[in-house]
Amino acid sequence: MIPFDLDAVVVGAGAVGLACGRSFARRGLSVVVVEAEKAIGQGVSSRNSEVIHAGLYYPTGSLKARMCVEGRRRLYDFLELHKVAYERCGKLVVATSPDQIEAVEKVARQAEINGVEDVSWLSADQAHKLEPEVRCVAALLSGQTGIFDSHGYMLALQGEIEDASGAVALATPFEGATPLPGGGFEIRTGGAEPATLTCRYLVIAAALHAQACAATIEGFPAERIPKLYLGKGSYFVLAGKAPLHHLVYPPPIPGALGLHYKRDMAGRAHFGPDLEWVDHEDYSVDTRRADYFYDYVRRFWPGLKDGALSADYAGIRPKIHAEGEPQPDFDFAGPEAHGLDGLMALFGIESPGLTSSLAIGEEVASRLIA
Ligand SMILES: Cc1cc2nc3c(=O)[nH]c(=O)nc-3n(C[C@H](O)[C@H](O)[C@H](O)COP(=O)(O)OP(=O)(O)OC[C@H]3O[C@@H](n4cnc5c(N)ncnc54)[C@H](O)[C@@H]3O)c2cc1C
């Protein structure tokens, strides 16, 4: 048996990589999460809606359905335990015209198949009683949807890793790995103090850079690395206090859940994200998109006043499908996909990746260690 420097190395200290690191640490394994940036959570995990999804939409039997429902249950417990701010505020999926009712009914059926708790159908009157300012002809109420402080969550994950004698190495970019004869990997990291070290398990949780990382691993078949597509989502913020208690989502659009109303833990209201297919990482928000937002939001919240929205922030979805193609499942590329024992590469971890992160961490650790 080769003595490894570490049991596990995880590449990427976003929510998913940190949750994977925590799952190894909880099993008593030595683990280091290596992160290219100078702080944790600077990638996709800090540019999203911070919504805890209930698991309503995802196809039957998919990883997204299972990871989201399980991850959401684990996440609420974790946030409670670590005293990280969250609010199980609930959400309405609204039909704003009779022709949208069928789409909302489809969400209701899928939610039931996925085993999502606290979902109920509301007539227009019932929805109006709950949210008088929202206009709809019917709605689905999801009581398990919530919002949370995602950065506080990631700090708590880091804390659990460190309490179990693991570490998060910042400003330490992963630069490549070579499989060792007999199992395990030698990995190379850069930064101010370049290093090589050996480990038994290697996890790539680098989101927008997962494909680039996988390409530096010797023996990883190029044809098993899915092409990366960038799905940019921009947000606009509302002046003043959040006007609605529940999150409000119209039915999903192809490739995304669609532009919605969400609150943050500070009580501000945001609308977004839209979906724009881009060819490079650019996080600027084009203020010309505001016209579309005003028009879209007023379909479910007519109270939106002219001039109330300003450009907010943008995030980019690490997509593995092109515009117009069906949205695939999360891609967990383990040894059966690439032939390298002890390696798991995670591709296409877009929404609901944040909600699913604790379940993904457990799934990855148990698949590799089994
Ligand atoms: C607009 C938008 C809205 C979303 N809304 C929600 C939502 O409301 N709820 C939800 O559940 N999900 C949501 N998601 C999805 C969710 O944000 C992601 O699935 C999740 O944050 C992905 O986490 P991650 O750890 O995989 O990626 P990241 O947070 O991007 O972490 C990857 C890390 O890898 C690091 N890295 C990259 N290359 C290297 C390298 N060579 N060496 C070392 N480190 C490296 C990066 O710096 C980064 O820190 C949304 C996504 C977007 C884009």
SS (H, E, C) the chain: CCCCCEEEEEECCCHHHHHHHHHHHHCCCCEEEECCCCCCCCCHHHCCCCEECCCCCCCCCCHHHHHHHHHHHHHHHHHHHHCCCEECCCEEEEECCHHHHHHHHHHHHHHHHCCCCCEEEEEHHHHHHHCCCCCCCEEEEECCCEEECHHHHHHHHHHHHHHCCCEEECCCCEEEEEECCCCCEEEEECCCCCEEEEEEEEEECCHHHHHHHHHCECCCCHHHCCCCEEEEEEEEEECCCCCCCCEEECCCECCECCCEEEECCCCCEEEECCCEEECCCCCCCCHHHHHHHHHHHHCCCCCCCCCCEEEEEEEEEEECCCCCCCCCCCEEECHHHHCCCCEEEEECCCCCHHHHHHHHHHHHHHHHHC
| Model confidence at 2: pLDDT above 70 | no
One domain, residues 162 and 307: no
| Model confidence at 166: pLDDT above 80 | yes
| Boundary-marking domain end, from 300, 319, 338 | 319
The domain that contains 166 carries what CATH number? Answer: 3.50.50.60
**What digits encode the pLDDT tens for the residues 182-202?**
899 999 999 999 999 999 999
| Model confidence at 256: pLDDT above 80 | no
Instruction: Express as a percent the part of the chain with pLDDT over 90.
Output: 96
Q: How far is the CA of 167 from the centre of ligand 1 (A)?
A: 19
One domain, residues 155 and 299: no
Q: Whose CA is nearest to atom 19 of ligand 1?
A: 353
Residues in contact with 336: Cβ distance below 8 Å, sequence separation at least 6, in sequence order: none
> Is the residue at 344 inside a domain?
yes
Q: How far apart are the C-alpha atoms of 104 and 118, rounded to whole Å?
A: 16
One domain, residues 200 and 257: no
As for how many domains the chain has, the answer is: 2
Residue 3: the pLDDT is 86
**What digits encode the pLDDT tens for the residues 106-130?**
999 999 999 999 999 999 999 999 9
Confidence label for 180 from pLDDT (cuts 50, 70 and 90) = very high
**What digits encode the pLDDT tens for the residues 264-289?**
999 999 999 999 999 999 999 999 99
The domain that contains 298 carries what CATH number? Answer: 3.30.9.10
Q: How far is the CA of 362 from the centre of ligand 1 (A)?
A: 17
One domain, residues 119 and 216: no
Q: How far is the CA of 82 from the centre of ligand 1 (A)?
A: 21
262 CA closest ligand 1 atom index: 8
Cis peptide before 173 (omega within 30 of 0): no
Residues touching ligand 1 (Cβ under 6 Å) are: 11-17, 34-37, 42-45, 47-51, 53, 173-174, 205-209, 213, 233, 273, 315-317, 349-355
| Boundary-marking domain end, from 303, 319, 335 | 319
Confidence label for 258 from pLDDT (cuts 50, 70 and 90) = confident
**What digits encode the pLDDT tens for the residues 4-27?**
999 999 999 999 999 999 999 999
Q: How far apart are the C-alpha atoms of 32 and 370, rounded to whole Å?
A: 20
Confidence label for 241 from pLDDT (cuts 50, 70 and 90) = very high
Residues in contact with 301: Cβ distance below 8 Å, sequence separation at least 6, in sequence order: 133, 134, 135, 243, 244, 248, 261
- Region 238-250: what's the mean pLDDT? 96
Q: How far apart are the C-alpha atoms of 177 and 185, rounded to whole Å?
A: 6
Average pLDDT, the chain: 97
Do 38 and 171 contact (CB within 8 A), yes or no? yes
Q: Whose CA is nearest to atom 18 of ligand 1?
A: 353
Q: How far is the CA of 277 from the centre of ligand 1 (A)?
A: 17
Do 26 and 368 contact (CB within 8 A), yes or no? no
Residue 30: the pLDDT is 98
> Is the residue at 53 inside a domain?
no
What does the block give as tokens for 172? 């330490």
172 CA closest ligand 1 atom index: 43
One domain, residues 127 and 173: no
CA nearest 145: which of 264, 242, 53? 53
Task: Look at strands 119-123 and 138-142 and give their pairing.
Answer: antiparallel
Residue 1: the pLDDT is 55
Q: Whose CA is nearest to atom 48 of ligand 1?
A: 43
Domain that holds residue 157: 6-48+151-227+327-369
Confidence label for 255 from pLDDT (cuts 50, 70 and 90) = confident
One domain, residues 107 and 221: no
One domain, residues 208 and 233: no
> Is the residue at 203 inside a domain?
yes
Q: How far is the CA of 74 from the centre of ligand 1 (A)?
A: 19
> Is the residue at 69 inside a domain?
no
One domain, residues 113 and 242: yes
Which of 9, 32, 45 for mutating ligand 1's site (highest number of atoms within 8 Å of CB)?
45
One domain, residues 101 and 244: yes
> Is the residue at 136 inside a domain?
yes
Confidence label for 370 from pLDDT (cuts 50, 70 and 90) = confident
Q: How far is the CA of 213 from the centre of ligand 1 (A)?
A: 15
> Is the residue at 350 inside a domain?
yes
Residue 150: the pLDDT is 98
**What digits encode the pLDDT tens for the residues 200-215?**
999 999 999 999 999 9
Instruction: Express as a percent the part of the chain with pLDDT over 70.
Output: 99
Q: How far is the CA of 1 from the centre of ligand 1 (A)?
A: 35
